[in-house]
């Protein structure tokens, strides 16, 4: 325990020192490092797979479930996709140093804002080794230093990837300590990481809800967090029903286990009889279990009764809750009560109702006539994302490079004084 | 204690409910409320002064120092300046609902950002009753609900101002609970306020460093904080010495007790002999005590020896520490080591050095050839400010209406789905 504290303090000090150098690093140096890391990762595939095999064997021996073992396993394909992800980050514009809104003030000074890195980012994630490379790449490009703490099941894989990251940083003349991967699996290291206020500026947890909730509870540093994704589609009585069916189908069934999939469908009562039967037939054909309120169940036979709990549940599975509402007001009230401020869509042709939905639904993404599945850094044009924030402070929605930066004020004068 | 908890929980619930209404309130309604509050405050001057007199009498009886009694005291003049402050807020553009950066993506959806309120703002401040009106006004205009907790010495004054605020909100058809002023002086109320994560979105402490440090330590909610203002002026060896003297004089002596006043002067060694003697003569004539390093003291006789502690001290008084540095690198290193990330200025005619200073000094405001005293919401064109943030997360520098808002993503489609 004493040793873990000292180790993490040293890690923090090194990260703080590296962050000062990274903040000044030029775009070329950062891109060179990203390309070198990508190249070195591919060159060392065999080594990475050998180290990963130790983790996989231990995970199997410890009875880890098949899906988790799958996420843990590195293959030639997943390694080249890691490298490709890093190369894509080199293509993103460098946000650092950008000056915006420079305007003259009556005093004669010009005032604007310059984008700067946050400093040191702590990232805590589960046993997906690809996150080590992704997160390192985003922090590096945004001029930050990173302390990465991956799941203990991936310790050998993460250390092997860390060695590649360090070699790439060295090759570009940047400090290795710009990306540090915590080398102990002791949980006390997380406790230190999320409370070292002098060395860490923000924590980004990536993983299951319980991990994130625990970190948010215990952290003494700002956390960019993403809890539930209880996303809604509301089919308005003035919806184009063809769009409604297409969007509602896609939002639920294009992928089930993702945070931006729809979990609850709301339908205006005036169109419920028309839209629910054909839409629910699609769901049932695809094997989606339906749980509805009384009004929905009168229209669709194969529907279980939804409980209050269903409205609050992120299934991440082929299950959908369905509710008939009087209209827009009831839909907005339902979403603001039961939703998780992630992503919600209205399907309507009515301009005023679309505008009200955009304004009044209190979620990080609000949409009109588009699938909730679009809530994603790539689809929004941000490039890779470090996560999706359902918070309001600092960052909301998909968090890309810009979410890892801040803005300071710059004042350009010619000798002005205040009178 | 049990009762305080219940009282604060109820206050929080009411604020959360009011925040939903305020988020939808139109600009006209919000401006009407601000104007009504301003009018009612002036109409009730006599009543406010009578209530304030109780606080002032108690403060004197308790031996409060003269400066604090002065800040506590309401006069006809300070009341009309409170009203004027509220009227100025009506003139600021309403940030809420503004959509920016709306762009088409390859999928055919349009993605942009809409500015939204943070929700519920908790403000904790010392015994300056005018803050009650200022803070209420800024929170109201930015579509937030506010819970205000002023110093216990101002309890009667704050409750009287709260009554005016409530009357103004009522007159505009807005909920009174949009601005709640905590009516107990029990300190446990602060402990509740800064930990009610379900009801409060951000805490803004205003006051002395010890108050702010304690709140930041104990809060379980994000805090927009402002600790020290250890501001620097660096006179470069390529400075225009006339500008250097004008800016350095103004930065220190225009006002002493403010956070954006200079506390440490750094001078490049090549110009120290030329600039320090005339500049220090100005300071000494104005009664400023000088504390310098060895090199400075060789040039100016009436200078005490500065200690390591001086570089870390915010005097807020006619005291200045002075240090001769080798050049830009040493100046930046000094500022990033001893400064408080508030406001720092370089005086130079050299373009490259100006650019390096802007980029490399890690402060919320960085300036070239302008007095640090310009670091202010009004001077920057933000309008009134709720405070100055020396943090990096969410808001940096002067925090005006925009700092009390966030941005959500809006997606406008025409039936697009993800493939």
Distance of CA B36 to the CA centre of its chain: 25
Q: Please spell the DSSP secondary structure of B378-405, one letter per residue.
A: HHHT--S-SEEE--SSS--EEE-TGGGE
Per the CB < 8 A criterion, the answer to whether A302 and A284 are in contact is yes
Per-residue tokens: B188: 């446990």
pLDDT at B266 over 90: yes
| pLDDT score recorded for residue B211 | 87
User: What is the rounded distance in angstroms from the CA atom of residue B121 to the CA atom of residue B150?
Assistant: 14
Best probe of the B interface among A201, A391, A408, A414, by most B CBs < 10 A, is A408
Is there a contact between B336 and A20 if contact means CB atoms under 8 Å apart? Answer: yes
The DSSP letter of residue B93 is P
Is there a contact between A417 and B373 if contact means CB atoms under 8 Å apart? Answer: yes
Question: How confident is the prediction for chain B on average, in pLDDT?
Answer: 95
In chain B, whose CA is at the least distance from the CA of A336?
B20
Closest CA to A190 of A4, A3, A387, A404: A4
Is there a contact between A413 and B249 if contact means CB atoms under 8 Å apart? Answer: no
Q: How many other CB atoms sit within 10 Å of the CB of residue B348?
A: 24
| pLDDT score recorded for residue B2 | 64
Q: Is B23 helix (H, G, I), strand (E, B) or coil?
A: helix
pTM of the model: 0.91
CA angle A181, A182, A187 (to 5 degrees): 145
Q: Is A81 helix (H, G, I), strand (E, B) or coil?
A: helix
> pLDDT tens, position by position, for chain A (419 residues)?
569 999 999 999 999 999 999 999 999 999 999 999 999 999 999 999 999 999 999 999 999 999 899 999 999 999 999 999 999 999 999 999 999 999 999 999 999 999 999 999 999 998 899 999 999 999 999 999 999 999 999 999 999 999 999 999 999 999 999 999 999 999 999 999 999 999 999 999 988 888 888 898 899 888 998 878 999 999 999 999 999 999 999 999 999 999 999 999 999 999 999 999 999 999 999 999 999 999 999 999 999 999 999 999 999 999 999 999 999 999 999 999 999 999 999 999 999 999 999 999 999 999 999 999 999 999 999 988 888 898 888 899 999 999 999 999 999 999 999 99
Residues in chain B: 419
Closest CA to A385 of A400, A396, A372: A400
Phi/psi at A187 (nearest 5 deg)? -65, -20
Tokens 């960052």 label which residue? A395
| pLDDT score recorded for residue A207 | 81
Give the CA-trace dihedral at B325, B329, B334, B335, to 10 degrees: 120
Is there a contact between B392 and A119 if contact means CB atoms under 8 Å apart? Answer: yes
Residues 6+ away with beta carbon under 8 Å from A212: A205, A225, A226, A227
Distance of CA A13 to the CA centre of its chain: 27
User: What is the rounded distance in angstroms from the CA atom of residue B90 to the CA atom of residue B31?
Assistant: 5
Q: How far is B359 from chain A (nearest CA, A)?
A: 7
| pLDDT score recorded for residue A362 | 93
Per-residue tokens: B322: 């002075």
C-alpha separations of B228 from A120, B260, B262, B267 in Å: 21, 10, 12, 22
The span from the first CA to the last CA of chain A, in angstroms, equals 57
| Beta bridge mates, A111 | A103, A411
Which H or E run contains B229? none
Tokens 């199997």 label which residue? A60
**A356-386 confidence digits (pLDDT tens):** 999 999 999 999 999 999 999 999 999 888 8
Question: Where do the DSSP E strands lie in B5-155?
Answer: 99-104, 110-117, 120-125, 145-149
The DSSP letter of residue B223 is B
The span from the first CA to the last CA of chain B, in angstroms, equals 57
Q: How many other CB atoms sit within 10 Å of the CB of residue A214?
A: 15
Is there a contact between A109 and B23 if contact means CB atoms under 8 Å apart? Answer: no
Per-residue tokens: B113: 């950002």
Residues 6+ away with beta carbon under 8 Å from A43: none
Name chain A contacts of B418, Cβ cutoff 8 Å: 250, 254, 371, 373-374, 379
In chain B, whose CA is at the least distance from the CA of A411?
B367
Is there a contact between A20 and B247 if contact means CB atoms under 8 Å apart? Answer: no
Count CA within 13 A, CB hemisphere, residue B254. 19
């Amino acid at each position: 325990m004493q040793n873990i504290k000292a180790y993490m303090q040293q890690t923090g000090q090194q990260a703080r020192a590296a962050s000062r150098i990274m903040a000044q690093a030029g775009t070329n140096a950062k891109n060179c490092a990203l390309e070198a890391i990508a190249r070195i990762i591919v060159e060392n595939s065999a080594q990475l797979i050998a180290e990963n095999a130790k983790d996989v064997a231990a995970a199997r021996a410890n009875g880890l479930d098949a899906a988790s073992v799958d996420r843990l396993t590195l293959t030639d394909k997943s390694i080249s996709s890691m490298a490709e992800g890093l190369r894509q980050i080199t293509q993103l514009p460098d946000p650092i140093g950008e000056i915006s809104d420079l305007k003259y003030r009556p005093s004669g000074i010009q005032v604007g804002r310059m984008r700067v890195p946050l400093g040191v980012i702590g990232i805590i994630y589960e046993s997906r080794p690809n996150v080590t490379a992704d997160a390192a790449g985003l922090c590096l490009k945004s001029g930050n230093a990173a302390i990465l703490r991956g799941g203990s099941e991936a310790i050998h894989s993460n250390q092997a990837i860390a060695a590649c990251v360090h070699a790439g940083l060295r090759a570009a003349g940047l400090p290795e300590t710009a990306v540090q991967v915590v080398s102990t699996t002791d949980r006390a290291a997380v406790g230190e990481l999320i409370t070292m206020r002098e060395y860490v500026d923000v924590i980004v947890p990536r993983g299951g809800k319980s991990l994130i909730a625990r970190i948010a509870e215990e952290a003494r540093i700002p956390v960019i967090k993403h809890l539930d994704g209880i996303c809604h589609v509301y089919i308005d009585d003035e919806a184009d029903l063809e769009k409604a069916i297409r969007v509602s189908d896609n939002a639920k069934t294009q992928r089930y286990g993702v945070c931006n999939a729809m979990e609850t469908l709301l339908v205006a009562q005036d169109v419920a009889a028309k839209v629910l039967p054909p839409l629910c037939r699609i769901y049932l054909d695809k094997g989606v279990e339906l749980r509805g309120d009384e009004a929905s169940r009168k229209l669709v036979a194969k529907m279980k009764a939804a409980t209050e709990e269903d409205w609050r549940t992120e299934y991440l599975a082929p299950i959908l809750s369905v509710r008939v509402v009087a209209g827009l007001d009831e839909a907005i009230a339902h979403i603001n009560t039961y939703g998780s401020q992630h992503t919600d869509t209205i399907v309507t042709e009515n301009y005023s109702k679309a505008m009200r939905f955009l304004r009044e639904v209190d979620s990080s993404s609000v949409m009109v006539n588009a699938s909730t599945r679009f809530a994603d850094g790539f689809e929004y044009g941000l490039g890779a994302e470090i996560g999706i924030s359902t918070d309001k402070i600092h960052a909301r929605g998909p968090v890309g490079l810009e979410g890892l930066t801040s803005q300071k004020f710059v004042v350009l004068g010619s000798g002005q004084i205040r009178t």
